[in-house]
Structure 1
């Protein structure tokens, strides 16, 4: 893709991406979504604002969620759940990984959450279309949220100085409630007894280029547009 020559002021703010192109986050189009840009960016963006004992990238996170989603999926849904797990944070390549407390604070600003949800919806629609992936339905969103939260619990234990103990107990409780109400999965076990950290630990030392390459190779395997 050739670099975009001139900015269009009518389309609002934009960022320059790894490919050298402009991406208008407030006026996204599938044609301007570049999956290589996304894979590269996510391999370098750190979660938890970088306050970890070692690098934990959003790219590592989406691969981890994809692994768990596939592991627990019904056989006929394995590819679908893995794909949704992989793609679930792709928008962060364009808007960053805002911390949860910051988002909650911004949502208290009158009208902000409505604006945010609309912006995010349009951005995700463009990304899913570019990737050739049907957006998740409400049930699938719940499933992926389950694994997103489970990844958060495991990442916190291994990567944060406080081993996750500085957080309240809402995340593990939410996991159990969601599992009981929506998904036929074993109740989450204590970290020391859970096999899922293996998925995380085996990728802990991956370099950004390895993570970037794995994201792209999975897209090629799982989506018709990833070839």
Structure 2
């Protein structure tokens, strides 16, 4: 796949050498969540910033990367993933295979991105903390950017309290700059490079 700046990425076997964090921030600032079905565009970069602000200190660096693979594979919404698995389930072994494929493509890109950042992949306990911040961010975005919905969302989302801060629409380049600044401050490989510069 061609990246924003014209480099090629191996989508099946990505490597840390293919990761450019400035490019990731810029790309994530233009990838919209909710399939674009929001009153105002909610980019993956803005979502990452909101989740970062909701996260406990010990997982903040990991939260910055929790959706970074979406710069390569897009934001496949949860309802879309569920629909794909349901349709795949109409074929023998299809549901399990679809779940494995969706998990594996994200994991491969996560592995390359985390290695480039100087971070290990999250532990199970860290994953739970990241999920907590992710859900708080989703709940906050729903309040600030989405139309009211007559149907309740998943129980864990309904139970989450949004952040007090109200988020407003901002230019994509401003969001990209903020996310990249967080990358430089919190990702070990970038923070160490900044110290040596």
TM-score tier, shorter chain, comes to: 0.7 to 0.9
Paired residues for 1:200-215 under 5 Å: 200-201=166-167, 204-215=168-179
Is 1:66 aligned with 2:45? Answer: no
Distance in 2, matches of 1:127 and 1:218, equals: 15
Cα-to-partner distance string for 1:173-208 (whole Å, 9 max, x where unaligned): 564xxxxxxxxxxxx4xx5xxxx231x52xx23211
Cα-to-partner distance string for 1:197-221 (whole Å, 9 max, x where unaligned): 31x52xx232111111111111111
Partner of 1:10: none
Cα-to-partner distance string for 1:91-112 (whole Å, 9 max, x where unaligned): 0000000121111122232111
Is 1:121 aligned with 2:107? Answer: yes
Partner of 2:121: 135
Paired residues for 1:4-23 under 5 Å: 15-23=1-9
Kept in 1, the 8 Å contact 2:29–2:172? The answer is yes
The number of residues matched between the two structures is 183
Is 1:41 aligned with 2:27? Answer: yes
Distance in 1, matches of 2:82 and 2:179, equals: 29
Kept in 2, the 8 Å contact 1:153–1:171? The answer is no
Gaps of 5+ in 2: 89-93
RMSD between aligned alpha carbons?
1.7
Distance in 1, matches of 2:49 and 2:140, equals: 14
Is 1:172 aligned with 2:157? Answer: yes
Partner of 1:147: 133
Distance in 1, matches of 2:61 and 2:37, equals: 28
Partner of 1:91: 69
Cα-to-partner distance string for 1:159-183 (whole Å, 9 max, x where unaligned): 1111x553335233564xxxxxxxx
Choose 1 or 2 for highest CA Rg: 1
